[in-house]
Amino acid sequence: MAFNFGAPSGTSGTAAATAAPAGGFGGFGTTSTTAGSAFSFSAPANTGTTGLFGGTQNKGFGFGTGFGTTTGTSTGLGTGLGSGLGFGGFNTQQQQQTTLGGLFSQPTQAPTQSNQLINTASALSAPTLLGDERDAILAKWNQLQAFWGTGKGYFNNNIPPVEFTQENPFCRFKAVGYSCMPNNKDEDGLVVLVFNKKETDIRSQQQQLVESLHKVLGGNQTLTVNVEGIKTLPDDQTEVVIYVVERSPNGTSRRVPATTLYAHFEQNNIKTQLQQLGVTLSMTRTELSPAQIKQLLQNPPAGVDPIIWEQAKVDNPDSEKLIPVPMVGFKELLRRLKVQDQMTKQHQTRLDIISEDISELQKNQTTTMAKIAQYKRKLMDLSHRTLQVLIKQEIQRKSGYAIQADEEQLRVQLDTIQCELNAPTQFKGRLNELMSQIRMQNHFGAVKSEERYYIDADLLREIKQHLKQQQEGLSHLISIIKDDLEDIKLVEHGLNETIHIRGGVFS
C-alpha cells in the first residue's frame, strides 16, 4: 500500500501511485501500484481532524512511561557522567554556561519555542496539508513518528515540516538512570582522555603516550605527565586518567588544576594534535558544586516530564553519590548495557584475583601453623633436655655436700604440696571425680552414637578374596603339620620297637 498524499485531485489510483515520490511517504516496505491498493483521496471530504492522538486512546506502543523519561543526547553515562551529556568537564568555568543552560535548563528563546510547540501540535492533531480526509491519516502518521522520535511531520504547505527528535515530549523510548558523581577536587588535576584504541595497545605504548602528551603540552621541562589509571571501555575504547605536575625553580611542585589543563586541551590546535593521537573525548573529573547540583536537579532536561523527573529524584538510591541522568533511545540503552557488562567483567576479574590471593594466604597460613606446631614440639624437647642437663649438673655440683637449709625448706614445701594433692577431700579427690565423670560421658556418648560404617562393594570383595586366600593358606599349612605329626609318630613308633628288640637280645 502506497501513501500518495501529494497526488493532485482528480487523477486515477494508478496514476497517483505512479507519480508518488520515492522518498516522502512512499509506503512501508514494497509498494504496490495497482488501482485498488493506492490511496488517491481525490474527493475532498473534509471530515474533520482527530484530536492530539487521533482516536487511538493514546495507547501508542504500550511503553507508556514505564521506561521513565530522558533527554536524547546522553552518551557518557559510564565514563564519569559527562562524556556525552553536555557536561564536558564538571566544575569547569569554560563549560559551566553550556552545561547548566544547554542540557538541563529550558531555552530562553520563548517565541521560537512557542512556535515550535504550536507547529508540533498542528502536525500531530490538525494538519492542513491536503485539505481532505487524508489529513487525519497524516496526523496519525505524525503521531507515530513523534512516538518513535524520528522523522518529519508535514502539516502545512507554507510552513516547513516539524523535525521529530528523541527530545520531543511525545517520544516513548526514554528512561532515567543514575550515575556516580566524581568526588575529585579541581586541585587534583584529573583529566580523562578517551582513546579509540584497545587497552593492551595503550599499556604497551604507555611511555610513548606520556612523551607524546608532554610534547602536546609544549615540551616544558617543568611539567611532568603522570598516568593515574587506565580502564577498558566498550567498542574497543580505553579511558586514560592523567594529571600534570608542575615543578617551580625553588624545588616545590603542584598539580595543574583540572580546569586549566582541560582548557588547554580544548584549544583548536591542541585538540587536533590529540585527535592525531587517537583521542576522541576529553573531560575533567571533578566534583559538582552544591549550586550546580541544585540547578541540575531543579531544571528537568528537555523533553522530560517534570513529574517523572521529580519521581526520579525521589527514587534516587543514594542522593549523595548518584545523580539522575536521562537515557533516550535504544542506542543509549545498549551503550549503558555494554558499560555495565564491562564493569561487571572488571569486578569479576578483581574478585578472581582476590580469591587467588585468599587461597594463597590460606596455604601460607596452613604451612605457618604446621611450622609453629613443629617449633613448639622442638622447643618442648629442648626444654626437657636442658632441664635434664641442669639436674645432672646440679647433682654433680652438690655431690659430697650436706643438705643445706634452703634445700630442706624446699623439700618441706614439696612434701606439703604432695600431701595436699593426695588428700581425699582435696585436689586428688576432685580430679578423680572429674575423671570418672569424663569416662561416663565418653561411655554414654559411644553408646548413643552407635556409628555405622559402610564399606565399598569392590573393597569388600577384595577383602573377602584376601581372607579366602588366607584361609586356604592356613588350611594347607594345617594339612602339612598333620602330615608331619604322623611322620613323627611313625618315627617314634619305629624307635620304640627297635629299643624293645635290642633289649630282648641282650637279655
Q: What is the pLDDT of residues 13-31, one digit of tens each?
A: 333 333 333 333 333 333 3
Q: Which among 32, 43, 34 is positioned nearest to 7, based on CA atoms? A: 43
**Is 164 found in the same domain as 291?**
no
Does 188 share its domain with 312? yes
C-alpha to C-alpha distance for 410 and 491, rounded to whole angstroms: 75
Q: What percent of the chain has pLDDT over 70?
A: 74
| One-letter amino acid for residue 210 of the chain | V
- In this structure, are 330 and 181 located in the same domain? yes
CA distance 489 to 507: 27
Rg (CA), the chain: 48
C-alpha distances (whole Å) from 442 to each of 429, 434, 445, 447, 452 are 20, 12, 5, 9, 17
For residue 179 the three cell numbers come to 550515575
Residue 320 maps to a domain: yes
One domain, residues 303 and 359: no
Beta bridge partners of 284: 191
Residue 241 included in any domain: yes
In this structure, the answer to whether residues 214 and 148 fall within a common structural domain is no
Indicate whether 196 and 246 sit together in one domain. yes
Whether the per-residue pLDDT at 232 is higher than 90: the answer is no
Enclosing H/E stretch for 153: strand 152-153
Give the SS3 label for residue 327: strand
Question: ∠ at Cα 17 (14, 22), nearest 5°?
Answer: 155
Boundary-marking domain end, from 358, 379, 400 = 400
Judge if 262 and 375 occupy the same domain.
no
Give the total number of structural domains in the chain: 3
Q: Name which of 144-148, 235-239, 366-370, 427-431 the model is least confident about.
A: 427-431
pLDDT over 90 (residue 115): no
Residues 284, 191: one domain? Answer: yes
Q: Rounded mean pLDDT of the chain? A: 75
Full DSSP string of 241-253: EEEEEEE-TTS-E
| Domain membership flag for residue 199 | yes
Residue 30 resides in a domain: no
In the structure grid, which three cell numbers stand for residue 166, read together?
528523541
Residue 64 lies in a domain: no
Provide the greatest CA pair distance for the chain.
Answer: 171
- Is 162 a domain residue? yes
* Residue 47 confidence (pLDDT) above 90: no
Range of the structural domain that residue 144 is part of? 112-172
Q: Which of 93-107, 235-249, 442-456 has the highest mean pLDDT?
A: 235-249
Same domain, 244 and 391: no
Which three cell numbers mark 135? Answer: 489529513
C-alpha cell at 447: 553408646
Query: Is 254 found in the same domain as 152?
Result: no
Distance from the Cα of residue 351 to its chain's centroid: 9
Closest CA to 292 of 284, 282, 280: 284
Which range (97-106, 330-339, 380-389, 458-467) has the least confidence?
97-106
pLDDT, tens digit, for every residue of 480-506? 999 999 999 999 888 888 877 766 665
Pair 188, 331 in one domain? yes
> Do 292 and 191 share a structural domain?
yes
